[in-house]
Amino acid sequence: MPKDIYTTKFCGEIYKIRANFAQASDPVEMLNCDFEWQSTGRQVADCSHDPTRAMRSVLAQSVIDSGDAWPGVEAEIDAAIDASKWED
């Protein structure tokens, strides 16, 4: 089954995730800086089959991993989610 790709821009970086959002056990993957798909450790069911929830978790984890949370980061994540879209 083909995987859908969902994309957004956050903090000057392009973020892409992919999964078959109709399949609960399908892994949610993200495109890394080497342009390879890697697991996020989450499945579609963890995100209630919702690509925006999956993207939000990836962006939030990115902030946590950077160790550089800042005031207003949640509003920036919200804006990135609002701008996210399916890739053709």
pLDDT of residue 86: 95
Taking the complete model, does pTM exceed 0.75, yes or no? yes
Domain span at 12: 4-86
* Domains identified in the chain, total number: 1
Taking residue 75's Cβ as centre, other Cβ atoms within 10 Å add up to: 9
CB-facing half-sphere around the CA of 28: CA atoms within 13 A: 27
Decide if pLDDT at 76 tops 80. yes
Cα dihedral sign, 52-85-16-3? positive
Decide if pLDDT at 59 tops 90. yes
pLDDT of residue 88: 74
| pLDDT tens digits along 16-55 | 999 999 999 999 999 998 999 999 999 999 999 999 999 9
